[in-house]
Amino acid sequence: MRTPDSSANQDESWDLIIDAKKSSNRNHFKDFFNNRDLLSLLVKRDLVTIYKQTILGPLWLLIQPVLKVAIFYFVFGKLAGISTDGVPAVLFYLTGLTFWEFFATILKKSADVFTANQHIFGKVYFPRMIAAFAAVVSSAVKLAIQFSLFFIVWIYYLVQGAISPNLFLIALPVFLLIIALLGLGGGLILSALTVKYRDLRFVIDTGLQVIFYLTPVIYPLSIAQGSFFNALLFNPLAPIIEAVRYSFLGQGVFDSMFLAYSALFAILLFWIGLKLFEKTERNFIDTI
C-alpha cells in the first residue's frame, strides 16, 4: 500500500521543470542525445528544403563548387596570373573552397537559428541549441558530399605525382573541429544579435565576402609579404586553410604557433557565442 508521500514523490519524478534561469547550467551534449530524433528531423529538413522542387536537387552540391573553381581558374589563374605555388590550379582552388564552404555554411545557418525557427520556437519547447547544432550536422553532410569530389580530383593528381601529401593529414579531424567551432561561434553571436538588430542579417553575406578575400582560398599565403603576411595569419581561418592545403598538397604555410592561436580563438569565440545564445533564448520570443 502506497503512502501519500511516496505517491507524491513518484509523481514528481515525472515533472519537467522548464526554467530559463537554469539554461547556463544545461548539459548540451545530454540534450543532443535525448533529442536525437528531433535533431535528425531538423537536419533532414535543412537538407531537403534547400533543393526541394529543383530539377537537379542535391547534384547542385557538386555543380556549385565545379562552377566556382572554373571561375577562379579563369579569373584569378589566367587573367590575374595569381600563383598557386606550383600546385595544379584546379586542385588548389578546390582544396580551399571545400573547407571554406564548410565554415561559411555553418556560420550562415547558425546565424539564422532564431529568425528561421521562430514559428517552431513559439509553439513547442525543446533545447534551442539543437537547432544550431543541426546546422553543423547538415553542413557536415554537405562537406562529405563535396569532399568526395575533392578526393577524386586529389587522387588523380596524387597518381600523377603532382602533389606531395604528408603525415599531417592525420590532423584533419582537428582542423575540421576548429573550422566548425569558428563557424558555430560566429553564427551563435550573430544569431543573438540579429534578434534585436535585424539589419545585421543583410551584413552577413557582405562580411563573409570580406573574410573570404582575407583568407587564402584563391591565393597562397606565400604571395603576401612582410607585415601583410602576419596580418593575414591573424585571421584565424588563414592558418587552418593553409595547414589543410599543406597536409593534402605538400605546399603551404604550416605554422604551429598560429594554429594554436586559431584553436584558442575558436574555443573563445564558441564560448562567447554559447553564452550570448543562452542569454538570448530566455526571452527572444518577446523581442521577435
- Cα–chain-centroid distance for residue 71? 23
Decide if 9 is inside a domain: no
Q: pLDDT truncated to tens, each residue of the chain (288 aa)?
A: 444 454 444 444 545 445 544 545 566 667 666 767 777 887 887 777 777 767 777 788 899 999 999 999 999 999 988 989 889 999 999 999 999 999 999 999 999 887 777 667 666 666 778 888 888 888 999 999 999 999 999 999 999 989 999 999 999 999 999 999 999 999 999 998 888 877 787 889 899 999 999 999 999 988 887 778 878 888 999 999 999 999 999 988 888 999 999 999 999 999 999 999 888 877 665 555
Task: Return the pLDDT at 217.
Answer: 94
Q: In this predicted model, what pLDDT tens digit does every residue of 124-155 receive, in sequence order?
A: 666 778 888 888 888 999 999 999 999 999 99
How many structural domains compose the chain?
A: 1
Per-residue cell: 118: 521562430
**Domain membership flag for residue 3:** no
Task: Please give the pLDDT value at position 8.
Answer: 46
Residue corresponding to grid cell 528561421: 116
Looking at residue 270, what is its pLDDT? 96
Phi, psi of 218 (to 5 degrees): -105, 5
Amino acid 284: pLDDT: 61
Residue 6 placed within a domain: no
Q: 128 CB contacts (<8 Å, ≥6 apart)?
A: 113, 114, 117, 121, 277, 281
136: amino acid identity, one letter:
V
Q: Is residue 266 part of a domain?
A: yes
C-alpha–C-alpha distance, residues 265 and 81, integer Å: 33
Q: Is residue 8 part of a domain?
A: no
SS3 state of residue 62: helix
Q: Which residues contact 71 (CB under 8 A, 6 or more apart)?
A: none
User: pLDDT tens digits for 194-206?
Assistant: 888 777 878 898 9
Q: How far apart are the C-alpha atoms of 191 and 235, rounded to whole Å? A: 21
Letter for the amino acid at 239? P
Measured on CA atoms in the order 176, 178, 181, 182, is the torsion positive or negative?
negative
Residue 5 exposure: Cα atoms within 13 Å on the Cβ side: 0
**Which element (helix H / strand E) includes 114?**
helix 113-116
Query: Which of 42, 15, 27 is CA-nearest to residue 121?
Result: 42
Q: Structural domain of residue 106, as residue ranges?
A: 27-287
Residue 132 inside a domain? The answer is yes
- Residue type for position 241: I
CB atoms within 10 A of CB 28: 15
| Residue 155 is assigned to a structural domain of this protein | yes
